[in-house]
Amino acid sequence: MACYITLRTGAQWLHMKVRRKTHAVHMEDGIRTMHLALALAVTSGIADRFQRDQRIAILGGMTQPGAITMYLMLFTAMFEVIRYDSIQLSASMKHNPVTIISVGIALAALVMEVFSCIRCARAISDEFYQAYLAFMAVTFVLHLFAFWPKKFPFLERHYLHIHHWYWPLPFVQISVFNSDVSIIGQSMFLAVWIHGFTAFGLQPNCYDTYEEANR
């Protein structure tokens, strides 16, 4: 909540890109976010790292709260730089070098993070490794059902717009290891999530019409 208040205040003072919210929306976002943050803290190992004051060696001994704050500031600045560019995964992206570069860097970072976490899981035990891969597979399948209904005729059609506050959440649950790479990746994902719900709110990802989804 401290990040929420600080970022909203700073963004308005600097005239940065944020969505206007009523008092009721602020309250609703705050309540839902606190519940979600508590769940994430327990299930992703963040609370345990906070308690043990674990340090990130390759960041000069920085703690995870410090890393989250640093990446939040970095991502906020980056988002403001590209605020007028369209970052959409569509056929038109081949004519937009900013989109290609941004998506390419993000995908490269995600792939490296996932493979690093898979190696960490395998090093623990075969049983944990199998359970970890099963968790990733279930997460992927559930998202297929939710986000690609046209692949499943028995589901109603809807239109998708994945806001940037949502996509980091599954990866936060994957980056649960105590290695520096895992903690840094998790800190980045949390920074993206914090920026998203702070600047724009916990908006829906699925809409009934194309016009609503494309706003």
Instruction: Give the tens place of pLDDT for each residue, 172-190.
Output: 888 888 889 888 998 888 8
Tokens 């600045």 belong to residue: 77
User: How confident is the model at residue 127, as a pLDDT?
Assistant: 92
Amino acid making up residue 79 = F
Tokens 């056929």 belong to residue: 91
Whether residue 153 is predicted with pLDDT greater than 60 in this model: the reply is no
Beta-carbon neighbour count of residue 166 at 10 Å?
17
User: How confident is the model at residue 13, as a pLDDT?
Assistant: 66
Closest CA to 72 of 164, 203, 176, 189: 189
Please state the rounded mean pLDDT for residues 190-199.
83
H-helix segments, the chain: 2-13, 23-43, 46-52, 64-81, 97-124, 126-147, 168-174, 180-199, 210-213
Tokens 């290891």 belong to residue: 177
User: How confident is the model at residue 123, as a pLDDT?
Assistant: 92
Beta carbons of 190 and 196 less than 8 angstroms apart: no
If 0-12 CB within 10 Å is exposed, 13-18 middle and 19+ buried, where does residue 129 land? Answer: middle
Closest CA to 193 of 152, 163, 155: 163
Tell me if residue 39 falls in helix, strand or coil.
helix
User: How confident is the model at residue 141, as a pLDDT?
Assistant: 83
191 compared with 100, residue with greater pLDDT: 191
Closest CA to 4 of 193, 194, 174, 185: 194
User: How confident is the model at residue 48, as a pLDDT?
Assistant: 74
Whether residue 160 is predicted with pLDDT greater than 80 in this model: the reply is no
Q: What percent of the chain has pLDDT over 90?
A: 9
Whether residue 155 is predicted with pLDDT greater than 60 in this model: the reply is no
User: How confident is the model at residue 207, as a pLDDT?
Assistant: 73
pTM over 0.85: no
Beta-carbon neighbour count of residue 204 at 10 Å?
12
Distance of CA 142 to the CA centre of its chain: 17
